[in-house]
């Protein structure tokens, strides 16, 4: 069985791709074959090869061995709107069983799979479900990326409770990302998150200038993996 992780966030723009890339690079450094996946992406640009999403391209580039784009990101939509709205506009049905079948094909043959969600945990997928139905159907361990800014305590706790309520997924831990350099009472808020999320963060990413690379997080990927595996 490969190591399987689903990366969700307290909101959109909190650093899910950054964390996914960090994990993929750390796993590759341990000599493992890895695959980064993004089942649904909205916000893409037309290219000669079709629509391409920046985050999905990053996950594709971090995968080893090389993998085609359609395997990484089977549902890609041009407008940067909620995925279920983008899918409806495109006339493309989104169904959990189709995503489960895609995932099983895409995850086959590698040592580790890191799947990045879209937005937060309960992003609508179709009229009767959510993107979280995918990891819940598969029983994948979940890592929560908390954007460290005003409001994150409520968002983080509600997400934690929703993951626990599903029963099929194990909450593997959380990572704080310093998205707001002016975040007041940062250390006190981190203490509260530790209490509310069942333990200390797997890692804290400092605030980074826009466009910063994964290497600029200055995090020890091997230590992050050790903490994940110890949970």
Task: Using DSSP, state whether 174 is helix, strand or coil.
Answer: strand
- Asked whether residue 230 carries a pLDDT value surpassing 80, the answer given is yes
Cβ atoms within 10 Å of 31's Cβ, excluding its own? 7
Task: Tell me what pLDDT residue 166 has.
Answer: 77
- Is 16 an annotated catalytic residue? no
pLDDT band at 172 (very low <50, low <70, confident <90, very high): very high
pLDDT band at 126 (very low <50, low <70, confident <90, very high): confident
The residue whose two tokens read 């029963």 is 167
Q: Nearest-CA neighbor of 39 among 5, 85, 71?
A: 71
Measure CA of the first residue to CA of the last residue in the chain; give whole Å. 18
CATH 3.40.50.620, applies to 3-230: no
Bridge partner residues of 7 (DSSP) = 116, 143
Exactly one of 21, 24, 27, 38 is catalytic; which is it?
38
pLDDT band at 26 (very low <50, low <70, confident <90, very high): very high
Task: Tell me what pLDDT residue 217 has.
Answer: 67
- Asked whether residue 223 carries a pLDDT value surpassing 80, the answer given is yes
Distance CA 57, CA 189 (A): 34
Task: Tell me what pLDDT residue 218 has.
Answer: 66
CA 91 to chain centre: 25
Average pLDDT of span 205-224: 75
Beta strands in the chain (DSSP E): 3-9, 34-37, 40-42, 45-47, 50-52, 75-77, 112-120, 124-126, 129-130, 141-147, 171-177, 203-205
Distance CA 48, CA 83 (A): 23
Average pLDDT of span 20-43: 95
Average pLDDT, the chain: 93
Distance CA 180, CA 203 (A): 16
Q: Nearest-CA neighbor of 145 among 64, 83, 55?
A: 55
Strands 50-52 and 45-47: antiparallel
Task: Tell me what pLDDT residue 81 has.
Answer: 94
pLDDT band at 1 (very low <50, low <70, confident <90, very high): low
How would you write 99-130 as a 3-class SS string? HHHHHHHHCCCCCEEEEEEEEECCCEEECCEE
Provide the sign of the torsion angle of the four alpha carbons 96, 11, 167, 2, taken in this order: positive
Each residue's pLDDT tens digit, 66-122 = 999 999 999 999 999 999 999 999 999 899 999 999 999 999 999 999 999 998 999
Average pLDDT of span 52-73: 97
Query: Which residue did the predictor score with more confidence, 13 or 7?
Result: 7
Task: Tell me what pLDDT residue 136 has.
Answer: 96
Q: Which residues contact 64 (CB under 8 A, 6 or more apart)?
A: 28, 33, 34
Task: Tell me what pLDDT residue 167 has.
Answer: 77
């Amino acid at each position: 069985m490969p190591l399987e992780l689903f990366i969700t966030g307290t909101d959109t723009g909190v650093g899910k791709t950054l964390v996914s890339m960090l994990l993929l690079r750390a796993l590759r450094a341990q000599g493992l074959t890895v695959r980064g996946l993004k089942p649904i992406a909205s916000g893409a640009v037309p290219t000669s090869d079709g629509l391409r999403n920046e985050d999905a391209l990053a996950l594709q580039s971090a995968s080893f061995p090389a993998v085609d784009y359609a395997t990484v990101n089977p549902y890609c939509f041009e407008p940067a709107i909620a995925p279920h709205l983008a899918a409806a506009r495109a006339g493309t049905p989104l169904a959990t069983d189709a995503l489960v079948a895609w995932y099983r094909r895409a995850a086959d043959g590698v040592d580790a799979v890191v799947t990045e969600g879209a937005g937060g945990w309960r992003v609508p997928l179709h009229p009767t479900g959510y993107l979280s139905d995918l990891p819940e159907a598969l029983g994948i361990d979940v890592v929560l990326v908390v954007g460290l800014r005003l409001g994150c305590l409520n968002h983080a706790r509600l997400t934690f409770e929703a993951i626990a309520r599903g029963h099929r997924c194990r909450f593997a831990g959380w990572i704080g990302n310093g998205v707001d350099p002016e975040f007041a009472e940062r250390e006190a808020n981190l203490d509260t998150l530790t209490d509310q999320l069942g333990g200390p963060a797997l890692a804290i990413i400092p605030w980074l200038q826009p466009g910063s690379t994964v290497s600029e997080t200055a995090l020890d990927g091997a230590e992050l993996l050790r903490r994940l595996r110890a949970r």
